[in-house]
Amino acid sequence: MTDTKTDLRIGVVLPGRESVVERNAYPRHLGQLAQLIEQLGYDSIWAGESPLARSRMNPLLALTAAATTTDRVQLGTAVLLPLRPPVHLAHELACLDRISGGRLIAGVGSGFSSPATQAEFEAYGIPFKERVGRLRETIEICRALWAAEGEPVSYEGKYHQLKDAALLPVPDQPGGPPLWMAHSGEKMLERTGQIYDGWMPTSTTPGNYEKGRLQVEEASEAAGRPATAVTNAVYLSVAVDKSIEKAEETLHSYFGAYYRLDLATMRTTQGILGGPAEQVADWLGQYIAAGARHLVLRLPSPVLDELSYRAALERTAEELLPLLRGIA
């Protein structure tokens, strides 16, 4: 176990995919939703990426909308895929970090191995088998450009080359926004400990999460970094409802519409729970005890519309957040 007395942060995921699935109007209200999230006491706002496999709003545009209507919450990607040219990504993230006043967290991942994700990469002209190496080079280039603060940078990699590239604007955060890794494979855990600033998996159990956290810490120390160099976060889905049966119905409906997969299948790869706030808080408390210091919560709703999402936001803030603050 780890010390749970340091600050706990609790964030929520914007409904970027839900709005696309239902083809409704509330992408125009993302700024208002972000403002509500901040007012309700959440600490961060997140947006995911999948242009084709599981289409949704562009996360950087969604977070830009959120940045203009909020002042306090952190803004994070959960997660960006290595689909962009590195210079393009470095520029976009630097701009968003400036717009937000240094509140950006750049969550990244290489994409899950599935036919739909493979087709997504190929549609971008990127061989799927190259995604891990391309992500590594992208991270190296982004950090080099940010650290240079507008001075020329050259880079020679297997997939990307730069010659005297000077990037402006300079990110608001020194060295650029923190980079968080989402995956939990053995090699990725080691890589996370070596170079990343945060770890944000979708661990199915608190035990699996703690095991991965310890591996990240060991890799950090082996690389000459402090064991605490990496922020421990976790991405989970929760449906708060006094009725367990209704919560389960919400989860079945939501994941069926979102992924076209049944709930049992989803639970083999993601941490998902529905039920009364006390039960959900106890479950999340186990992740906190296992070392999680930043909870990123997706809030499934029975209908993929704005009213249902707002209701889930408000119910979770009213019933769950006070319990979690008490744990921390």
The pTM (predicted TM-score) of the whole model is 0.96
Predicted pLDDT at 3: 40
- What digits encode the pLDDT tens for the residues 192-233? 999 999 999 999 999 999 999 999 999 999 999 999 999 999
Predicted pLDDT at 6: 58
Other beta carbons within 10 Å of 314 = 12
SS3 154: strand
Please check whether residue 234 is in contact with residue 291, taking contact to mean a CB–CB distance below 8 angstroms. Answer: no
Predicted pLDDT at 170: 98
29 or 232, which is more confident: 232
Q: What's the CA gap between 47 and 37, in Å, rounded?
A: 13
Q: What are phi and psi of 57, to 5 degrees?
A: -65, 145
Task: Find the helix packing angle between 306-315 and 30-39, rounded to 10°.
Answer: 10
4 or 27, which is more confident: 27
| Tokens linked to 118 | 């493979």
Q: What's the CA gap between 272 and 233, in Å, rounded?
A: 15
Closest residue by Cα to residue 181 from 59, 79, 99, 28: 79
Closest residue by Cα to residue 106 from 179, 192, 47: 179
Please check whether residue 284 is in contact with residue 11, taking contact to mean a CB–CB distance below 8 angstroms. Answer: no
Q: What's the CA gap between 304 and 309, in Å, rounded?
A: 7
Half-sphere exposure of 88 (CA within 13 A, CB side): 7
Residue 17's pLDDT band (cuts 50, 70, 90): confident
Predicted pLDDT at 24: 66
Kindly state the DSSP code that residue 53 receives in the 8-state scheme: T
Predicted pLDDT at 2: 42
Please check whether residue 40 is in contact with residue 313, taking contact to mean a CB–CB distance below 8 angstroms. Answer: yes
End-to-end CA distance of the chain: 14
Q: What's the CA gap between 216 and 186, in Å, rounded?
A: 10
